[in-house]
Amino acid sequence: MERLLESGANLEKNRSVIESTTGWILVCLAALCVGLGKAGFSGLGLIAVFIMAELFGKASVGILLPMLIVADLSVYPMFRKYASWTPVWRLLPPALIGMALGFFLLDQMPEEWAKPVIGSLILVMVALQLLRNISPIFFARLADSGGFGMVAGGFAGVATTIANAAGPVFQLYFLARRLPKMELIGIGARFFLLINLIKLPFMGGLSYTTTESLILNLKLVPMILLGVFCGRHLLKLISQRVFEWMIVGFAIFAGVRLLFAS
């Protein structure tokens, strides 16, 4: 009964948000960021997480998930030739363990904790990106250690379940192994497509992905595809390093805002 009441309250909140002009602008921006993030500008994925958490709170994890799947399905064929499934199978077992823990924590987490927890995870992801840039040699050695893959996979599983924010952990692991950019995106397309498809029925069972949220997702598909298309072409024109540093600054702001949200 408590779960049904919470789900009903979330539906009312979601309806009021998306009926406003500002709400529609923000969800469209989040959808665009999802597409751009999946096409190579991964820092924008954290911006989408921030926008959706700001609008929908705890329910954002289930509303955002189908948007990510649409982007994954669009990006996978584009980068299919650049990678294989072998690295995905190596990282999958610890990720599944992390996801199981993440679903338990998500189910137990009070609504008022949602924004601070998601904000904290965003800041952790940003910290990992900054540390990777500051100490690349250290992280290269760390990635070669025997247990790092297990830890990275497990943490990615928790982060993707609670906040759809596992991208930086994934990047940290594979970039430290000195993979080319296109291969990294290709592996990521496979890994997150599989992970997100596994998550979807559980999000539905917990009432975070609903019929109403899927209708909203369907309306946002054009913006997601636009983001994927633009991101694919912008990769050839824009210095990704400069762009990612700009996104890090905004992600820090976003994480702090959610962490101290009232």
pLDDT at 85: 87
The residue among 233 and 50 whose pLDDT is bigger is 50
pLDDT at 1: 44
Among the ranges given (4-18, 31-45, 201-215), the one the predictor scored with the smallest mean pLDDT:
4-18
Mean pLDDT of 125-147: 71
Q: How confident is the model at residue 63 (pLDDT cuts 50, 70, 90)?
A: very high
Domain that holds residue 227: 2-259
pLDDT at 68: 95
Query: Has residue 72 got a pLDDT over 80?
Result: yes
Q: Tell me the residue length of the chain.
A: 262
Domain count, the chain: 1
The residue among 122 and 198 whose pLDDT is bigger is 198
Reported as a single tens digit per residue, the pLDDT across 195-253 is 999 999 999 988 899 998 999 999 999 999 999 998 887 777 766 566 667 667 777 87
Among the ranges given (102-106, 138-142, 211-215), the one the predictor scored with the smallest mean pLDDT:
138-142
Q: How confident is the model at residue 178 (pLDDT cuts 50, 70, 90)?
A: low
Rounded Cα gap, residues 41 and 209, in angstroms: 26
Neighbour-count burial of 215, counting CB atoms closer than 10 A to its CB (0-12 exposed, 13-18 middle, 19+ buried)? exposed
Of all residues in the chain, the percent with pLDDT exceeding 90 is 28
pLDDT at 4: 44
